[in-house]
Amino acid sequence: DLERLDQMRRDFIANASHELRTPLTVINGFLEIAANQPELDEPTRSCHMKLMVEQGQRMQHLVEDMLVLTRLESMDYPLREEVINVRELLQNIEAEANALSGGRHQISLVIEGPDLRGNTEELRSAIGNLVSNAVRYTPDGGQVEIRWFETQQGPCCTVSDTGIGISHEHLSRLTERFYRVDKSRSRETKGTGLGLAIVKHVLMRHDAQLQIQSEEGKGSRFTIQFPRSAMVLDQS
Ligand code: ADP
């Protein structure tokens, strides 16, 4: 087990360095041009600037996601539980999804289940990641649905899309850090490759399970099943 953990740590450092090196190389390249060619024309200069800003943002997202993961994994960071206003949380996530989609998708929200005990910010991050993936991996004109309901086992959240889907052999590896089915699509849509690893950790801390159903070319459904003990009974 120790050997396996050590290997995982080495892989993580290698992957993280690799992910950071690419944008850094781009930024350094443009900075060198700027330093060596002060007479560069304005349109070219502003194009270089734009690309550097994009790559800088990419590094920032990556470092932020790595910090979130580190914090989630640290033992001395216990879960701070509260009663979550699920309606407000999901409406905020829906609004963010609409902003990300920019009207290119039909996004719907159905809330039928009870409130929940858990950590609002962590679940905002987990469910927000699933919804942002649904938008990012669904071509224009597609549909995304967020649904909150109750099953026999407890409260349940599904995020479904009519997007590109995932073929079966990838499903078991999706929550690994930096695992991507299609690297270029992930990067084009500003993915860090850490979203589902964050989801997995948040759900573990909430004793919840993640289930993934998907069919290539048809779409995906990510289901979060919370335990009955997390349910908040109607207090009104
Ligand atoms: P990324 O930042 O690359 O999106 P994630 O950890 O969130 O990283 O997801 C890992 C990979 O799982 C993605 O790169 C993508 O290949 C696949 N994936 C995640 N969600 C979906 C989805 N809704 N539809 C199709 N593929 C998905």
For residue 85, pLDDT over 70 is answered with yes
SS (H, E, C) 144-206: EEEEEEEECCEEEEEEEECCCCCCHHHHHHCCCCCCCCCHHHHHHCCCCCCHHHHHHHHHHHC
Query: pTM of this prediction?
Result: 0.92
Q: Quick one: which atom of ligand 1 is closest to the CA of 181? A: 16
Q: Of how many residues is the chain composed? A: 236
78: pLDDT confidence band, cut at 50, 70 and 90? confident
For residue 236, pLDDT over 60 is answered with no
State the Cα–Cα distance between residues 181 and 60, nearest whole angstrom. Answer: 22
| Dist. CA 210 → ligand 1 center (Å) | 14
Q: What are phi and psi of 219, to 5 degrees?
A: 140, 180
Question: Does residue 199 line the site of ligand 1, with CB under 6 A?
Answer: no
Question: Does residue 220 line the site of ligand 1, with CB under 6 A?
Answer: yes
Which tokens in the block code for residue 6?
A: 């050590």
pLDDT tens string 22-47:
999 999 999 999 999 989 999 999 99
3-state secondary structure of 66: helix
Question: Does residue 115 line the site of ligand 1, with CB under 6 A?
Answer: no
Q: What are phi and psi of 223, to 5 degrees?
A: -115, 130
Percent with pLDDT over 90 in the chain: 83
Question: Does residue 181 line the site of ligand 1, with CB under 6 A?
Answer: yes
Q: Quick one: which atom of ligand 1 is closest to the CA of 222? A: 23
Q: What is the pLDDT at residue 161?
A: 98
| Dist. CA 180 → ligand 1 center (Å) | 6
